[in-house]
Structure formats: structure tokens, C-alpha cells
Amino acid sequence: LRSCSAGRARRTNASRRARLVARFGDIYAQERVDAETLLKTYISDMEMVQRIIYIAAVESFHAAKMAYRQFKIRVRETLSLGHSGPESLEDTVLDYIVRHEDLYDVQASVNEVIRSMNINPKISFPPEIDFIVINTLIQEMCRVAFSMQTLIPPLDVAFGTDGELFSETKYYRSFDSDFTAALVAYHVWPALMENDVVIAKGEAVTKR
């Protein structure tokens, strides 16, 4: 541990941020579309399919953030025992997490996401199948969300509610939207935020 360079995580922050923002965009373009295609074989209601994917994305961030906090506490407790500098304990902890992100138990987060989705009143699934069918999407979202917590400042997804006022800065309208409607009927993909600034727009459906 002593051999890790001081503030390495801080020095690589910009390049890691750029890579993670790009990966978030890739998940939207690839894993989200794959999950949509898969879900459509079980569910004919397109709105339900898109709601499931949106909630999976938001819950993945929530689970990954919780896991990160717990992981960071354990690392800090361990490293504080022998820490003597020259870098701060916080920087040492961050460097360690960035170097050992493979220790993140992503499957535990996936299980947590699926548990949350099973009790979410806004989505439902045919009884013969399980949310585990979109495991790949959830896993990739958890991974990217966990890594985004190591950035300074960390990145998060915007909180969205049905019926909120549509924001041009936060979302693109889906092609099947009513473009004259002012309110969001439901969300398709969350916006990515840095503090209160939109880094990548999400997608929403507006209807009257």
C-alpha cells in the first residue's frame, strides 16, 4: 500500500470521468436497447418495458452508492491503522478503492436492485419470469455507478417523478411524445448529474 503514489486518484480524475461518462452513454445505446428487446418478448406494453428499465437504472445507482459507502468505511478503518502520510488518509483511501475496484461485490448490488424492483408498485412482471433477465443491464449500471463514486465530485443520476415539469436541459423527448405537452408522463432513462449540473441528458415521454 505504501507504494501507491500520492493522490493518484485525483490526478487521474479527469480521464476517469471522461471514460465513465462515455460508458454511461454506451450503456444507454447498447445494454438498454438489448434489455428493451428482451423485455418486449415477455411484455407487450411498451410503457411498462421502459418503466422497468428506468427503475432498474435508478435503483442500480442507489445500490452502488450504498455499497461504495460501506466499502469506503471498511477501507478507511483498515488503512487508518498504519497510515502516516505523506498523502492524506482520504486520498490514500480513494487511491486504494480506485486500484481495487474489482473487490466491489457487484452481484450483491444486483440482488439488492432486483429486491427493490420486486416491491416497486409502478412496475409488474408476468409471474413466470424474473427481473434477473435484465441482469446484464443492472450489472453494468452498478459497475459504472460504483466507479462514478470515486470521482471528485462524484456523479449521480437525477431524481425524476411522473408528472413533473419537462426540462429541456435534463431530458430529450422520446419520439412518441406529445411535443406540446409540458409534463413528463414517465421516464425512459435518467439524466447524469455532477452536483446540480446536467452532464448527459436522460430521456422522457411527455403526454397530455
Closest CA to 144 of 106, 175, 107: 106
Q: Whole-prediction pTM value?
A: 0.91
Domain boundary among 154, 172, 193: 154
Do 21 and 98 belong together in one domain?
yes
Do 37 and 65 belong together in one domain?
yes
pLDDT in tens, 91-146: 778 888 888 888 999 999 999 999 999 999 999 888 877 899 999 999 999 999 99
Residue owning grid cell 421516464: 187
Do 94 and 168 belong together in one domain?
no
Do 20 and 105 belong together in one domain?
yes
pLDDT in tens, 12-27: 889 999 999 999 999 9
In a domain, 1, yes or no: no
List 205's β-bridge partners, or say none.
186
Tally of domains within the chain: 2
Containing structural domain, residue 31 = 6-154
